[in-house]
A = this chain, B = another copy of it.
Amino acid sequence: MTDPVLARLKADEGILPRLVDYARLPSVSTDPAYRDGMAATRAFLKARLTEIGFNHVGEIEAGGHPAVVAEWCGLPGAPTYLVYGHYDVQPPDPVSAWHTPPFEPTVRNGRLYGRGVADDKGPVATAIEVLGAFLALEGALPVNVRILLEGEEEIGSATLGALCAAHRDRLIADAVISADGSRWRADLPTVNVGTRGNMALELSLRTAVKDLHSGRYGGAVPNALHVMAALLASLHDADGRITVPGFLDEVEVATMEERAAIATLPFDEVSWFDGIEAAPHGEIGYSTLERLWIRPTLEINGMWGGYTGAGGKTVTPAEAFAKLTTRLVPGQTPAHVRDVLTAHLNRMCPPFARLTLHLDDAGTPAYLVPPDLPLLGAVEDAIEATLGKRPLRVRVGATLPLSPIFRETLGMETVMFSFATADEDYHAPNEFFRLSALNEGLAGWVHLMRRLGRGR
């Protein structure tokens, strides 16, 4: 017997076109060139939330990109949940690698392709459709719901903490349901109970006032690219260990029980690596899942310098640049990691190069959901009702700054509830969202709302 709200959703042919309209809006938060796209996306969301019957629809901000908020609190005394999502997306670069343009969402083979469709416009649109269907059919939601759609998730949620502090009344709830976060994989019901943290750093090097002719100066003057290569190579050893002194100091070593639980998870490693045409490589002594979930990383996201055009140019480059990010695990504080990394880079940089570090980002610690949180049980029940199987508890190697921020500023715990899947090329060309996930997500949100309404 299909839930009447779900039946209504299944009959609604406007859901996919509305998602396409949403994903067409270029809301790249990191690049000021997309300012208009960000504003248009907020306008779209406010119109839609008003249309489905939410109240107090508006924007709040704390010095960064504004967030969109709304609420339906028609059940005095009932629990209130904050539904979180983000409307910003990653840059589309390299655009030439996309088979169809990143901001012209296109359906091919049961998948919707476009920047942000999985991370996380598809999951947010799913939640909004379900909340709208409840209000349309029943005139009420099973519980009170507040909505917060952030505009800075892809740039580290820089002002989310300040937003929470300044707008507590618009956001406070019993717990947070995050439409962001993704499922581990498409073939196994899981619930995410942990995320890694992160911290970003840019570095630039200068060795001379200008690029020099490699014949007339080469050999007697420093080459900025040699210095940068050596500096970046000093971050790891050949066995994949991070070699920055102190970097691992604070890591809470996983228990044998935790490691055993990870080892028993079904995981087809061969297919996983085949799918990305990569070979296993990481910190020696840990399995692939351990490397992804319970061990930190320190990665170069970009490096550049010298002549990079067509043909050759015999220069001794005077400048070199790199962007680094880390993924942090429980126990690690971004401030300590930043300190040891800064100290290491300054110590390793030779005296004939001038190193500048750019540390604009305060970083985010890792997060673990309390194992006995009531919302976690409700989410597990909803997933079981949707997919027919009890989900396994897993972690994700990515970062959701919101969870530690909500915990710290408003005392709220967060459970991730997204039907997007981690293989959908988030942050890469040809990002996609499975249309099957859209349908599962609609059912999942109906089940979760009903389950929360029953209170157990």
A128-136, A170-178, A209-217, A253-261 - the one binding chain B: A209-217
Residues 130-168 of A, flagged 1 when their CB comes within 8 A of B and 0 if not, give 000000000000000000000000011000000000000
By the criterion CB–CB under 8 Å, are A278 and B222 in contact?
A: yes
Interchain CB contact (< 8 A) of A283 among B91, B155, B219, B321:
B219
Q: A210-B276, A306-B301, A427-B315 are in contact. Are A281 and B216 (CB under 8 A)?
A: no
Check A297 against B226 for contact (C-beta < 8 Å): no
Choose, from A77-85, A230-238, A385-393, the stretch at the interface. Answer: A230-238
Interface residues of A in 255-270 (CB under 8 A from B): none
Q: Mark A218-247, 1 if CB is under 8 A from B, else 0.
A: 111111011011101111101000000000
Q: How far is the CB of A227 from chain B (nearest CB, A)?
A: 9
Q: Name the one of B223, B289, B292, B430 contacting A300, with C-beta atoms under 8 angstroms.
A: B223
The complex places the Cα of A56 from the Cα of B396 at a distance, in Å, of: 75
Beyond A302-B308, A314-B325, whether A215 also contacts B232 by CB under 8 A is: no
Residue A282 at the B interface, CB < 8 A? yes
Q: How far is the CA of A143 from the CA of B426 in the complex (A)?
A: 72
Say whether A302 contacts B317, CB under 8 Å.
yes
Per the bound structure, the CA–CA distance linking A305 and B232 in Å amounts to 13
Question: Given A214-B297, A215-B327, A31 and B311 touching (CB < 8 A)?
Answer: yes
Query: What number of copies of this chain does the assembly contain?
Result: 2
Q: For A41, what are the chain B residues with a Cβ–Cβ distance below 8 Å?
A: none
Q: Which A residues from 188 to 220 make CB contacts under 8 A with B?
A: 195-196, 198, 200, 202, 207-220
Residues of B within 8 A of A220 (CB): 280-282, 288-289, 291-292, 397
Task: Flag if A232 contacts B221 (CB, 8 Å).
Answer: no
Alpha-carbon distance between A354 and B295 when the two chains are bound, in angstroms: 26
* Cα separation A214 to B291 with both chains bound (whole Å): 12
A320 contacts which chain B residues (CB < 8 A)?
A: 303
B215 touching A277, Cβ below 8 Å:
no
A317: chain B residues at CB < 8 Å are 300-302
A347 CA / B53 CA spacing, docked (Å):
65
Residues of B within 8 Å of A425, CB to CB, are 210, 213
Write the A338-353 contact mask toward B (1 if CB under 8 angstroms, else 0): 0000000000001110
Q: Given known contacts A216-B426, A219-B282, is B308 in contact with A304 (CB within 8 Å)? A: yes
* A306 in contact with B303 (CB, 8 Å): yes
The smallest beta-carbon distance between A254 and chain B, in angstroms, is: 14
Chain B residues with Cβ under 8 A from A303's Cβ?
225, 228-229, 303-306, 308, 320
Residues of B close to A361: CB separation below 8 A = 312
Tell me if B198 and A215 are in contact (CB < 8 A).
Answer: yes
Residues of B within 8 A of A312 (CB): 30, 155-156, 200, 202, 301, 323, 325, 361
Q: Would A211 and B428 be within 8 Å (CB), given that A31-B310, A301-B313, A308-B302 are in contact?
A: yes
